Amino acid sequence: MSEEYLLELEHIRKEYPGVVALKDVSLRLRRGEVLALIGENGAGKSTLIKTCSGAVIPTSGKIRINGKEFDRMTPQLAAENGIAIIYQEFNNVGELSAAENLFLGRPIRKGIMIDRKAMEEEAAKAFAQLQIKIDPRELVKNLTVGYQQMIEIAKAIQQNAQVLIMDEPSAPLTSNEVENMFKVVELLRKKGVSIIYISHRLEEIFRLSDRIEVLRDGEYIETLITRESTVDQLIKLMVGREMTQKYPERKPCIDKNKVVLELKNVCGNGDENMSLKIHAGEVLGLGGLVGAGRTELAEVIFGAAKKESGQMFLNGKEINPRNPREAIDLGIALVPEDRKRHGALLTNTIKNNINMPIYERISSASVINSRTERSNAEKYMKEMAIKTPSFQQHVKNLSGGNQQKVILGKWMAADSRLIIFDEPTRGIDVGAKYEIYKLINSLVEEGRSVLMISSEMEELMGMSDRIIVLSEHKMTGELEKEYFNADKIMTYASMAADGKKEN
Ligand SMILES: Nc1ncnc2c1ncn2[C@@H]1O[C@H](COP(=O)(O)OP(=O)(O)OP(=O)(O)O)[C@@H](O)[C@H]1O
Ligand SMILES: [Mg+2]
């Protein structure tokens, strides 16, 4: 046993039927450090940290906390030994208040009665300690994702956690919320809490961590000291090969004579006067801050929200899709941002998910052509490099990024003419990002059109042929590729709709 390490995972192996998720992986967390855990989608990061709470029982290996050895953990043992985890999908109950969530499963009682007032006071103290402003009585469903996450962190602190494990905490947050979360992480580090931080965003890793552990395909690769390592080095360790190019080459393929989608003064879903054209073979980027109305616009085009006025044309014909089904039939697809809520049927298989939009087409007299169904699933699993042994696998068992690929595969199979991507690479690792960019390229090279919403400036500029920027539900700027410039885009994005710049 070593004094230096608070938590040690030794030679952890985890087998699932047909998959070895972890092969002999070890991890050592020092007191008071932030250890980043990185690796591609499906590398085994979530599985590894879940062994610390008993959410995953290792096939073999040991867990040591403060020198005490365990073969397996349980949620209770984890809590008793000061370990708290913020999962990729967190566990709040929306119908309960912030205070009630904080004390979920261990309410403060006065006699046999639950002491609501005491819980609210304790909650207020906990939030104040983290310097966050949450009303303890507010229902959690009314709070933003950022605040919901803060409640999870507050819960960990309440329980006196010495180790806080965070699985992609920044993925669902807006940039302001990310800044707040960073502040809380710094605060905790100062208080002596040790942190394991999982993220695909390398800039966060460099900003927060002391050391970095890299996993690849369920194997331990290396642990580095953050200030002695470089982005290129990390990427190489994660991907297992040199990646010199971030954006794949695209053949020129825009047909300026062929307007696929045209909007004329479209209003609806909060957005006003949206006018734009997308050509065949073009990637039109939609930039702006979170809340600018980009997702809202996508929903109107996809028939998921009502258009109140204005006109939409697809290949010159006026269209008015009243629901997504009609939009899909017209050849429009939407790959949504929140894959858990809209994109994938998690309890269904990969095969069902991929074939979802086309069951009508591959069936005759309600009998599904199962051979086509299978070959479709196989084809897209291979093309998207979805890491799992079989298309019979339930989507909920896939790693976060591989779930995103299933959703993409589904729309590829649907043969749509216009594909709208809402934050296509959120939560996706560098290697898979490149694959998705290649896919977007192949879509437009086939003459399809893409509307891409992205909050990542680099991606927006790297992938788009043209960028339209929204702010406060209005269009504030448009740039052709040769004039792309991050400052300019930010200026448009923070422009008040009346044209004045905000401070
Ligand atoms: N319950 C399960 N049944 C079968 N396979 C599983 C299960 N849970 C995880 N796996 C597999 O184990 C591997 C590791 O998954 P894990 O979720 O740990 O990856 P990850 O590194 O967290 O990826 P991401 O960055 O996408 O979140 C994947 O191949 C995944 O499909
Ligand atoms: Mg994960």
The CB of 387 under 6 Å from ligand 1? The reply is yes
* Structural domains of the chain ordered from first start: 5-239 (3.40.50.300), 251-331+417-498 (3.40.50.300), 345-415 (no CATH)
Question: Among all ligands shown, which has an atom nearest to the Cα of 22?
Answer: 1
**Quick check: 335 and 421 in contact, CB under 8 A?**
yes
Question: Which are the contacts of 497, defined by CB distance < 8 A and separation ≥ 6?
Answer: 272, 471, 472, 473, 474, 476
H-assigned helices in 367-485: 370-383, 400-413, 430-445, 457-463
**Cβ < 5 A residues, ion ligand 2:** 46, 400
**Quick check: 136 and 99 in contact, CB under 8 A?**
yes
CA 461 to CA 89: how far, in whole Å?
30
DSSP 8-state class, residue 12:
E
H-assigned helices in 198-306: 202-208, 231-239, 294-301
Question: Which are the contacts of 30, defined by CB distance < 8 A and separation ≥ 6?
Answer: 4, 5, 6, 194, 210, 211
The CB of 401 under 6 Å from ligand 1? The reply is yes
Averaged pLDDT for residues 247-273? 94
DSSP string, 198-213: E-S-HHHHHHH-SEEE
Query: Which atom, in ligand 1's list, is nearest to the CA of 19?
Result: 5
Query: Which atom, in ligand 1's list, is nearest to the CA of 393?
Result: 4
Q: What are the pLDDT digits (tens) for 322-374?
A: 998 899 889 998 887 765 544 556 667 778 777 776 666 666 666 667 787 78
Q: What are the pLDDT digits (tens) for 380-434?
A: 778 777 777 777 888 778 877 777 778 777 777 777 899 999 988 877 777 778 8
Q: To test the ligand 1 pocket, which listed residue (12, 19, 221, 339) has its Cβ within 8 A of the most ligand atoms?
A: 19
The CB of 21 under 6 Å from ligand 1? The reply is yes
* CA 238 to chain centroid: 19
Residue 502 banded pLDDT, cuts 50, 70, 90: very low
Strands (E), 150-209: 163-167, 194-198
Q: What are the pLDDT digits (tens) for 194-228?
A: 999 999 888 899 999 999 999 998 999 999 999 99
What sign results for the dihedral spanned by CA atoms 12, 15, 20, 21? negative
| pTM value > 0.75 | no
